Structure 1
Amino acid sequence: MATETGRWAGVIGLGSMGFGMASSLLRAGFEVAGHDPSPAAQDRAREAGIAPMATAEDVFAAAEVIVLSLPTAAHVLDVIAAAQDAGQLGANARARVIIDTSTSEAEVSRKLSAALDERGHGFLDAPVSGGPAGAASGQLSVMLGGDEKWVAAAMPALEAMAAKILHVGPSGAGNVAKLVNNMLVASHMVTTLEALRLAEAAGVGAEDALRVINSATGRSAISEIHYPNWVLPRSFDSGFSTGLMRKDVRLARELAQSVGCAMPVADLVAELWAEENSGLKDADDFMHMGDPAADRPSYKDSK
């Protein structure tokens, strides 16, 4: 498949993040092929000018650069296996570079990268930060792991989707960096919640306490961005679910266990995020965890 520009990109997974990235690629001049199992997502893609494909393998057939925006490493493995079975990632197929923006597992990325490189294809672990708004505006931050030659091949697509591209090392490094980052986000949500609960219990409102925190050394992205935009207005619609945050904390703890790194705070944070202690279901937006007014099992006031 060719166009006047000759630049076809594919996006597999057209949820809030994948659709935003596909839209950013379109604005940058790429022709974009996309696939998602949801008919509604396929229809929205068509309306936006993205060529909807019936299968993920059809996306591989159309594009040389393929962006994955999938929930788990297992989904990534399934998509790669299907493309391999279709002959699209063989040694005699045209070179493709896969940009995996999923928050995945370092060891999975390393194995995929090594196997595909042997057959002349690239695989980059490229988890992102910035949420649906960043994806839609092309202002994501990308934590990138992979070989320099494949980074160079993917750079036009990466630059279309991201304002910050941080190549942090070889394959797997991007996943490690993202898990470390999200472990901190989960921890910051808990510590900021506790700070505001204490402030309110002692007579200082959450908004006033945040004004101080955000002018001092206790600030974080949670206090500066998330609370003002999604928690205090009580919209709780950041686009990132509690289930995904739990998954990322679990993966970070598993990574720590595999390398022999003790993380007692992360262990406690994981307990506090658990449904029985937070009262939150996986489908709930993770901003609900920061609600100072919520009556959580873990935060019953002592008498």
Structure 2
Amino acid sequence: MESKKMTSFKTAGVVGLGNMGRGMALSLTRAGFNVVGFDSSAGATAAAVEAGIAVTASMAELGQHCDAIVLSLPNSAIVKSVLFGDDTKGGLAAAIRAGAVLIDTTTADPKSTRNNAPALAERGIKFIDAPVSGGAAGALKGELTMFIGGNAADVELATPLLAALGTKRFYIGEVGAGHTAKLINNLMVASHLLVASEAFHLSEAAGVPIAQIIEAINAGSGRSGVTQYNYPSRIMNDAFNSGFTMQLMRKDVNLAIELMNQVGVDLPVVREVGTRWKNSADTLADGEDFNRITQLH
């Protein structure tokens, strides 16, 4: 298998051992890497140990022992804090050995990612942004979709690691491009959920239930990932168990709005999507499944 071509990598670290990070750690283990993890949460650490993942007492210890490190964290601010502490002289980055590969799978702000890159490069750290799609199940199976940004040679070097995590890997461009692509992807998912919800609401008001129309829609040009997957497997059966929360999607949509403002374009539909997701906080709690947005009309 491609993922077992270990090259110079022996020990891989995973920082952030929630559902995604824990699954990625187990996938790296199956691919033949020695894996150690770290999480500041006692609960996440205990769950990782129960799953058979070795953990370190500190991020510094992890950094000193790993040839490659994967970050699976909630947002850009936490990534920056983990890497640099209060300044660019502290944090995990100070402990990582020169020549090591750092792969950030967080869905993050591309501007923040690009800002982090120079300080990492000064330490000889090969930095790749590779946010993922596929949820906790995809992480556990090593079947994630990856949007990859970074120096092409660094990405090639990191292929054994990336292949252990994702079966669909797309090299987008230089550092930050992966995070840009992931925001565009999630913006489209957020938009499709709103459009599909209203379209199906109209269909039902006209006397045609979703169950009678969805197969035809999915055979026609109106289909999307939302109609093909989210509706049958998460929404129509009232499961709402994707593992991806309203809070996380609101965060990602907000990052897409910030990106729009940064590049100086005004996109009315995108702004409306942003407003709808922001206002959903009045009705849907942060911890609710993100597919619940379809219940608002």
Task: Please give the TM-score of this superposition, normalised by the length of structure 1.
Answer: 0.90
CA deviations over 1:32-84 (Å, ceiling 9, x no partner):
11111222221221122211122222221221111001011011001111495
Pair 131,185 (structure 1): closer, same or farther in 2 beyond 3 Å: same
Residue pairs, 1:196-211, within 5 angstroms? 196-211=200-215
Pair 24,90 (structure 1): closer, same or farther in 2 beyond 3 Å: closer
Letter in 1 for 2:266: A
Match of 2:37 in 1: 34
Letter in 2 for 1:273: W
Cα distance in 1, alignment partners of residues 114 and 197 from structure 2 = 37
In the alignment, which of 133, 138, 147 is matched to residue 142 of structure 2?
Answer: 138
1:19 match: secondary structure: helix
Query: CA contact under 8 A between 1:61 and 1:88: conserved in structure 2?
Result: no
Match of 1:254 in 2: 258
1:166 match: secondary structure: strand
Cα distance in 2, alignment partners of residues 262 and 209 from structure 1 = 35
1:104 match: secondary structure: coil
Query: CA contact under 8 A between 1:109 and 1:123: conserved in structure 2?
Result: no
Pair 241,90 (structure 1): closer, same or farther in 2 beyond 3 Å: closer
Match of 2:74 in 1: 71
1:6 deviation in Å? 6.2
Segment of structure 1 superposing worse, 40-49 or 207-216: 40-49
Residue pairs, 1:134-173, within 5 angstroms? 134-173=138-177
1:246 deviation in Å? 0.8
1:261 deviation in Å? 1.5
1:107 deviation in Å? 1.5
Residue pairs, 1:185-200, within 5 angstroms? 185-200=189-204
In the alignment, which of 280, 294, 297 is matched to residue 290 of structure 1?
Answer: 294
**Aligned-CA RMSD value:** 1.9
Letter in 1 for 2:172: V
Segment of structure 1 superposing worse, 106-115 or 15-24: 106-115
In the alignment, which of 36, 46, 49 is matched to residue 46 of structure 1?
Answer: 49
Segment of structure 1 superposing worse, 37-46 or 264-273: 37-46
Query: CA contact under 8 A between 1:246 and 1:274: conserved in structure 2?
Result: yes
CA deviations over 1:122-144 (Å, ceiling 9, x no partner):
11111111111111111101101
1:121 paired to 2:122: no
Pair 218,58 (structure 1): closer, same or farther in 2 beyond 3 Å: same
CA deviations over 1:156-183 (Å, ceiling 9, x no partner):
1110000011111001100111111111
Residue ranges of structure 2 left out of the alignment (5+ in a row): 1-7
Segment of structure 1 superposing worse, 65-74 or 31-40: 31-40
Segment of structure 1 superposing worse, 40-49 or 254-263: 40-49
Pair 222,276 (structure 1): closer, same or farther in 2 beyond 3 Å: closer
Task: Please give the TM-score of this superposition, normalised by the length of structure 2.
Answer: 0.91
Q: Percent identity?
A: 42
